[in-house]
Amino acid sequence: MEDNIIELINDEGKVEKLVVEATFHVDDVQYAVLHEIDSDEGMIYCLEETEDGEVILSMIEDEEELKEVIEIYEGIADDLI
């Protein structure tokens, strides 16, 4: 499970350890489902790679996009986890 743990710096500047539950594509966009180590509640982020290879996680701001991505994830979750 250690391989699936990433460290992120939150808005307060503190390091958070999160588990990468799954990654998947919808059209040309890659998404990641993350959750805190002691929680089963997942959060879905959009993954973007910069030109220098750095990966950036961003929240999905569009409610319709989020709803669609959640529905797709729920349909394929058993195959990903």
Q: What is the pLDDT of residues 8-57, one digit of tens each?
A: 887 899 998 999 999 999 999 999 999 988 888 889 999 998 999 888 89
CB 58 within 8 A of CB 43: no
Q: Which domain holds residue 76?
A: 21-80
53 domain-assigned:
yes
1 domain-assigned:
no
9 domain-assigned:
no
Nearest to 11 by CA among 54, 58, 47, 55: 58
43 domain-assigned:
yes
69 domain-assigned:
yes
Retrieve residue 48's tokens.
């973007």
What's the domain count of the chain? 1
6 domain-assigned:
no
pTM of the model: 0.81
62 domain-assigned:
yes
50 domain-assigned:
yes
pLDDT at 44: 94
